[in-house]
Amino acid sequence: MNQFIVASAFFLIFSWILLQWVANERTHMTRATFTEIVETHAQEAREAGYFTPEIIDAMKQDIENDMDIPESEIQITATDTPKYRQTSFNDDNLISYTVEIPIKRVIAMSSFFGNQDKDHYWFPISGKVASELQAPR
């Protein structure tokens, strides 16, 4: 009977290790996909001179479609007024953005361990890009 109990405990521990590795890989892929989407739309904003409502809506749509994250859970703070390209560097003319999404199911078997409420975190991506929009003459 003791051998059965010990074998069951080892099986549970090794199962958790395998499942946690899978959860880590899924989290990594989520973060990589999210980073790619945000960087793509940041380059569009660079060309437009700011994050237009169309760019923000397209970014939300891509995140929702590719990552199954509801639009209501996506938080975006970005420059929404045109910035123009300058001949010399000026930090005030950079287009800034912060996009956050929740990453859920980080811990394998979290309900088994009793901390299912803490099984998520917010992943932000922040950055600045220089505008390529030419100033009107």
Mean pLDDT of the chain: 89
Compute the Cα dihedral for 68, 121, 71, 57 and give only its sign: negative
- More reliable by pLDDT, 112 or 61: 61
Strands 94-104 and 75-78, sheet pairing = antiparallel
Which of 28-32, 33-37, 118-122, 127-131 is predicted least confidently? 118-122
Which sequence spans correspond to the domains of the chain? 2-130
The tokens for 21 are 């590795």
pLDDT tier for residue 109 given thresholds of 50, 70 and 90: confident
